[in-house]
Amino acid sequence: MRLKNILYFSTGTLLSRILGFVREATIAYLLGGKDAADAFYVAFRIPNLLRDLFAENSVQTAFVPSFVEAREKDLSPFDFANAVFTLTLIILGVITLIGILFAPFIVKLIAYGFTKHPAKFHLAATLTRITFPFLLFISLSAILGGILNSYKRFFVPAISPVLYNIAVISSGVIAYFILKEGHYPHALAGGVVTGGIVQFLFQWPFVRKVGVRLKLHFTLQHPMFKKFYKLLLPVVLSVSFVNLTLFFNTEIASFLGRGAVAYLSYAFRIMHLPIAIFGVAVSTVILPGLVEKFARGEDMTDEFEEGMAFLLFLIIPASIFMIKDAPGIIKFLFQRGNFTSYDTIMVSQALCFYAPLIVPSSLAKLFQSYYFAQGKVKVPNYSFATAGVVNIALAWYLGFKLGFPGIALASFIAIFVRFIVLSFPVFRAMKKKGVFLHRIAKVIILSFLFALFVFSFNPSGDMENMFIHLFAGFGAYYGIGYLWGMFNIKRK
């Protein structure tokens, strides 16, 4: 694991996420917390959840390890990539067609509460039809990104979502100037599909540059398909469990009043920023190296332990800061146009419950890379199933007990349970616990000092003080961490 690669991936992701927040701010400005916002987020959530199933998760946990091993063992890796690309195109093309044809049924399935409001339900179904092709193009784009990641070219896949965000933002700006307000959601949905197409086309020449010439080639006989299927089927089942819980959360939120779905969506986007910048970065960068070591029969524990300590060092302060300054963050990002001060208060409540999820969720992604690098699927599958059951049970109870913030709290508890299930076998197998605990002790001390600084500060409510607080706290934390050797990871 090289610090340079983490920096490349994190930088690309940060640029993408910054524009992602501009995208969310654009949507918030145009739609606010109204019925149109709920309809848009339900429509977008359907292909987006299937994207998690067929794109990023499947590529990261099934395709990348299989492709790297095929390359290490000289088992026609390009033929394998062509076969997976073609199979994805066929399967998701059919699923996209089904999604367009049966959009009303799908909306009724995941947001039945909308049926009480016919206009809202009809809008959600229409937007679902518009956004569904996004699934096909973003999944093909994920394969291209997986190929580049396997060659340790991390920046291009990380920055490619910038183009997607630009497409959605542009569609919103154009709609504001030339369309009536009632057509804003349709324009944004069109921007989603355009963004997926552009993101796919952007990565294509870079894949060719590393020597991979993708073409349509359908076969199921490649020797690496056995490992690919071994990893893919459990991934699909596991992610299906996660998506089921998200569908269930949306279903409950649809009964919790106007804006509930949108409030949770806004808060989830913010919470996911540090996970994407640091959690996904470390787990993505570390995976090819772990697979290579496992294929060669080398020990990979040291690299994993180092990655885990470094990840904790990066993400803990983000969780603390979001809990403390949630209202200021929401106000700065979204409070304009149709997004009111009341909406800020509502989203802040959800974010305070989502923020503690950052640490266990990031670690769970790292542990998943550790298991799948070795072709192990039993523990990850069990962790997904257990977390899914916990989330569904608690979301039902806490959602109707506490309102929509209860759904965010249920998500945190479920992810924490998943982390415990994933971590126990790994911690038990660690060889150099003393070295690892020494690294963790440094992280705990630094995090405690950061928390003291954050919670001793009482902002006056203006943005200038919040930014001073932000840069001073994070600057001191990472600065002391640098002097204490927290950035001294192996440069392999």
Identify which has the larger pLDDT, 483 or 186: 186
Residue 491 confidence (pLDDT): 45
Does residue 200 have a pLDDT over 80? yes
Q: Tokens standing for 318?
A: 């983000």
Are the CB atoms for 353 and 412 separated by under 8 Å? Answer: yes
Q: What is the C-alpha separation between 182 and 275, in angstroms, rounded? A: 34
302-323 per-position pLDDT tens digit? 788 888 888 999 999 999 989 8
158-168 per-position pLDDT tens digit? 889 899 999 99
User: Can you give the three-state secondary structure of 457-490, one letter per residue?
Assistant: CCCCCCHHHHHHHHHHHHHHHHHHHHHCCCCCCC
Residue 173 confidence (pLDDT): 94
Nearest in space to 31 (alpha carbons), one of 336, 397, 339, 237 = 339
**DSSP type of residue 83:** H
| 454-476 average pLDDT score | 72
Q: Mean pLDDT check: name the lowest of 11-20, 381-390, 481-490.
A: 481-490
For the chain, the structural domain boundaries read 3-483
Q: Mean pLDDT check: name the lowest of 146-150, 264-268, 345-349, 424-428.
A: 424-428
Q: What is the mean pLDDT of the chain?
A: 85
Residue 73's CB is within 10 A of a number of other CB atoms, namely: 12
Task: Please report, as a single letter, which amino acid is at residue 208.
Answer: R
Q: What is the C-alpha separation between 55 and 79, in angstroms, rounded? A: 20
Does residue 187 have a pLDDT over 90? yes
Contacts of 268 (CB under 8 A, 6+ apart): 350, 354, 408
| 249-266 average pLDDT score | 83
| 269-282 average pLDDT score | 87
Percent of the chain whose pLDDT exceeds 90: 27
Q: b or e along 21-38 (b: 16 or more beta carbons within 10 Å of the residue's beta carbon)?
A: bbbbbbbbbbbbbbbbbb
Are the CB atoms for 311 and 279 separated by under 8 Å? Answer: yes
Does residue 434 have a pLDDT over 80? no
Q: What is the C-alpha separation between 262 and 208, in angstroms, rounded? A: 40
Could you tell me the pLDDT band of residue 141, with boundaries at 50, 70 and 90? very high
Q: What's the first-to-final CA gap in the chain, in angstroms?
A: 6
Does residue 405 have a pLDDT over 60? yes
User: Can you give the three-state secondary structure of 379-415, one letter per residue?
Assistant: HHHHHHHHHHHHHHHHHHHHHHHHCHHHHHHHHHHHH
Residue 133 confidence (pLDDT): 94
Residue 401's CB is within 10 A of a number of other CB atoms, namely: 10
Residue 489 confidence (pLDDT): 62
Residue 270: how many CA atoms within 13 Å on its side-chain side? Answer: 33
Does residue 177 have a pLDDT over 90? yes
